[in-house]
Amino acid sequence: MRTIPEMKVVVVGAGYAGMLAANRVARKVKAAEVTVVNPRPDFVERVRLHQQVAGTAVAATPIASMLRNGAVLKVGAVDRIGDGCVVLDGGTRLDFDWAFLAVGSTVRPLPGTVPVGTWEGAERARVALAALAAGRTVTVVGGGATGIETAAEVAWARPDLKVRIVGPAVGDTFTDRANEKVRAGLERLRVEIVDDSATEVGDGVVHLRSGLSLLSDLTLWAIVSGVPDLATRSGHTVDGDGRAVVEASLRSVDDERIFAVGDCAAVPGARFACALAGPQAAHAVDNVARLIAGRTPVPYTPRYVARAVTLGRDNAVGQFTRRDDTLRRVHVSGRTGVVIKELASRGGKYGARTGTGG
pLDDT in tens, 101-132: 999 999 999 999 999 999 999 999 999 999 99
Whole-number average pLDDT of the chain: 94
Share of the chain above pLDDT 70, in %: 98
B/e letters for 308-341, b = 16+ CB within 10 Å, e = fewer, are: bbbbbbebbbbbbbeeebebeeebbbeeebbebb
CB 34 within 8 A of CB 48: no
Question: pLDDT value at position 225?
Answer: 86
CA distance 208 to 306: 32
Angle between helices 274-292 and 334-354 (to 10 degrees): 30
Q: CA-based diameter of the chain, in Å?
A: 66
pLDDT in tens, 218-228: 999 999 888 99
Question: pLDDT value at position 357?
Answer: 72
CB 129 within 8 A of CB 114: no
3 state SS of 12: strand
CB 290 within 8 A of CB 154: no
Question: pLDDT value at position 3?
Answer: 43
Q: What is the DSSP letter of 210?
A: T
**Amino acid identity at 24:** R
Polymer length in residues for the chain: 358
CA distance 298 to 202: 50
3 state SS of 177: helix
Question: pLDDT value at position 289?
Answer: 95
Mean pLDDT for 169-194 is 95
Mean pLDDT for 64-80 is 96
Question: pLDDT value at position 1?
Answer: 38
Mean pLDDT for 253-282 is 94
Tell me: pLDDT of 2 over 80.
Answer: no
Cβ partners under 8 Å of residue 43, min gap 6: 14, 15, 19, 60, 61, 62, 63, 66, 349, 352
